[in-house]
Structure formats: structure tokens, C-alpha cells
Structure 1
Amino acid sequence: MFSTFLLIGLGAPEIILIVVAILLLFGGKKIPELMRGLGKGVKEFKDAKDGDGDSVKQNDTKTY
């Protein structure tokens, strides 16, 4: 995870500053709710991505 931040030029001070800014903007009680929503969104995206691939495969195997 941290190697990704290093690739885009973010070091420890920048990451700490971003975390502090998020805490100030949303507060400690809202962050778990935001992360839960983000997780659900990522899961839905993956399901939709996988679902599209399955429907294409099913359409290819059907004979008309």
C-alpha cells in the first residue's frame, strides 16, 4: 500500500496531513460510515464488472 503512495510522490508527512484533514472535515464518528460506504461501492463495482463478463460469455455460447 505504501509503495503506491511512494510512486505518486507522497511521503509520510503528506499522508499524515491528509489523514488529519480528513479527521477535521468529517470527524471521528463519520469515518467508519464513509469507509463502509466506500467498501460497498467497490464491492458493487467488482460485482458489476464480473457480471458483465459472465453475460458476455453466456451470449457467446448460445446458439440462435
Structure 2
Amino acid sequence: MFLFISGPEILFILFIVVMVFGADKIPEIARGLGKGMQQLRNATNDIKSEIQKSAEKQGIDTGFTDDINNEINKVKDDIDDLTGSVKRQL
């Protein structure tokens, strides 16, 4: 489920991208997007680690975040199980 976009809509978007930028520019665009996403991910991880270090230095218990993440993952799994059965029935 990618933002409620189906196959034909993705193909149409790709067609427009090829028409606007040309087939030879697409690898460069994809590479640039990949690098940008990697930099964003690295910056996010750096910020998370700095917050974690600062909280530990201040004596704040951050163990509850693991519990919250586990609960969120359980809910995601339950939703995936539910939507998976619905998708199979369609």
C-alpha cells in the first residue's frame, strides 16, 4: 500500500517523468534521491543518538521507549494481518 497509488497510476507517473526529464536523466535523479534519503536517515539517526546520550547523561530513564516501540510494532503486525486477509479476499 503505497499512498493508495495503484499500478496504472505509477506507470503514468513514470511515463510523465520520462517525458519531462528524458530516459538518460532518470538514473541521475534516482541516484540523487537515494543519496538524499541516506543523508536524511543518517541525520535522523544522529539526532536520535544525541537525544539518547543527553537523556542518559541527565539520568532520564529511556527504557520505556523500547516498550513503546514494541507495542507499536505489535499493532502494525496486527494491522498487517487484518489488511492482508482483506486484500486476499478482494
TM score, norm. by length of structure 1: 0.75
1:35 aligns with 2:30: yes
1:4 aligns with 2:2: yes
Name which one, 1 or 2, has greater alpha-carbon Rg: 2
Unaligned runs of 5+ in 1: none
Task: Indicate the residue corresponding to 1:14 in structure 2.
Answer: 9
Unaligned runs of 5+ in 2: 59-90
Structure 1's consecutive aligned runs of 4 or more residues displaced over 3 angstroms after TM superposition are none
1:23 aligns with 2:18: yes
CA distance in 2, matches of 1:51, 1:12: 36
Count of residue pairs the alignment pairs up: 58
Deviations 1:13-58 (A, max 9, x none): 3222111111010011110000001001111111111101111111
Task: Indicate the residue corresponding to 1:59 in structure 2.
Answer: 54
Look up the equivalent residue of 1:30 and give its one-letter code: K
What percentage of aligned pairs have identical amino acids?
31
